[in-house]
Structure 1
Amino acid sequence: MSLFKEIRLSVEMSFATLETTLAVHFGIPPDDYGKFRARIKQLQRLGFPPGVNVGRGTKFAYTVDHFLQSGIALELLNSGLTGKLVTDLVTEHWQKIGAGIWAAHDRSPRNPWSEHRGPDVHLDIEVQGLKNSDGKFARIQVEDDYSRLEPIFSVGRQRCVVSVNLTAFSNDILENLFKVGQFSEYSVQNAIKKYGKIIPELKSPSFLNKGFEWYRVGLFDSGGNDLSHG
């Protein structure tokens, strides 16, 4: 029996709803929910998702942004990246990652309001210095031509490339949000369509320097054109 009795028109949710929906998305059996909850709590101890300030006895209404941020962070954790590196990347570049999720959703045949169709959208991350697990050097790129990822480090340098298919990710995680969380597709669509307005405003290449940390971000369309130039 569903824990959720009616279709929700808002996209705010409790921690229990966020946890249960993500657990279903990742195929976690009920007996392992405790371990899965511990992984989410690990992210919270790192101040993630951003804007969430919870403590003992404190209730917080999570938004669809928090839900998607947590989902993509857990995807990256499953690839072997460390918690600190993952939370840094997602926090610093959520606007562009969100734009990639919107582009993937907007082009998906499973989106009943889509006016566009196109290749899958990918989030590619290239990390230098993974041995130290501190995220000192990283390149993050959103694109829909998988072959476009080009190494930015010299040949022979240690690096790790992680790729997430944002089209598959958005299809599956939003479907679970509709079914498990009982949110209306229309309300979720309205909550994420704001990222479609971000795409033409982005600048590329965009560099963020914080001490030894280096991130580069790019967003590309189906023809290999850089959408970041507007």
Structure 2
Amino acid sequence: MLTYAAAEAVLAGMYGLGSDIQGKAFRARLKHLKRLGVPLGSNPGRGTKIWYHDEQLFQWAFCLELAEFGVDPTMVVSFIRTSWEDIFEHFKEARHRPQGPTELCFYAEPRFMAAQVSGEGKPFDYQWRDAGKVRIAGTRRCLVINLSAMVREMDILRVGADSTQPKEQ
């Protein structure tokens, strides 16, 4: 489990952000996601200390990855709400995949305009693929996130930010 500060440090580290940036724009982005409801179910009220588990950290990280592609946060949060159970199962699987062609990737063909205009369909038509099997031949646009690499990086960053270990005096 991580405190908010430690979770923020892990997430900021994923994007190579220092504490000066972390304290401004990045923190605002995380707070905006919290206002929209991510991490899911973490609204204990003001002044209550929250401990974040892997699942909640993964939710934030996945939202931030989609933000890197320019996906609107409200669309991302809606997608997380409807698909999180499946995504989380794959996060757990990704942790155990070795580095290389069997790393687990989220592969999506975005359909944002069609989903918004028609009000039907999903904004992401997604699949899970091994890194070595990601092919885009014939696909006009796609988005790929290497979940295995993401989890590996988060685990490394977490070692430095882990607030569950007692600090030596």
TM-score after normalising by structure 2: 0.79
**1:60-209 maps to which residues of 2 (within 5 A)?**
60-108=50-98, 119-130=102-113, 132=116, 137=122, 138-144=124-130, 145-147=133-135, 161-181=142-162
Aligned to 2:20: 31
CA 1:85/1:160 → structure 2, altered by over 3 Å: closer, same or farther? Answer: farther
Give the unaligned 5+ runs of structure 1: 1-11, 110-116, 152-158, 185-230
Aligned length: 159
Could you say what secondary structure the match of 1:122 adopts?
Answer: strand
Show CA shifts across 1:171-193 (max 9, x none): 11111112322668xxxxxxxxx
Q: Name whichever of 65-74 and 137-146 sits farther off.
A: 137-146
Show CA shifts across 1:49-99 (max 9, x none): 111104432322221110111111111111110101111222222222122
* Greater RCO, 1 or 2 (C-alpha within 8 Å, sep 6+): 2
Considering fraction of residues, name the structure with more helix: 2
Deviation at 1:125, TM superposition (A): 2.1
Q: Is the 8 A contact 2:3 2:163 kept in 1?
A: no
CA 1:136/1:54 → structure 2, altered by over 3 Å: closer, same or farther? Answer: farther
Bigger Rg, which one: 1
TM-score after normalising by structure 1: 0.60
Give the unaligned 5+ runs of structure 2: none
Letter in 2 for 1:23: A
Identity %, equivalent residues:
26
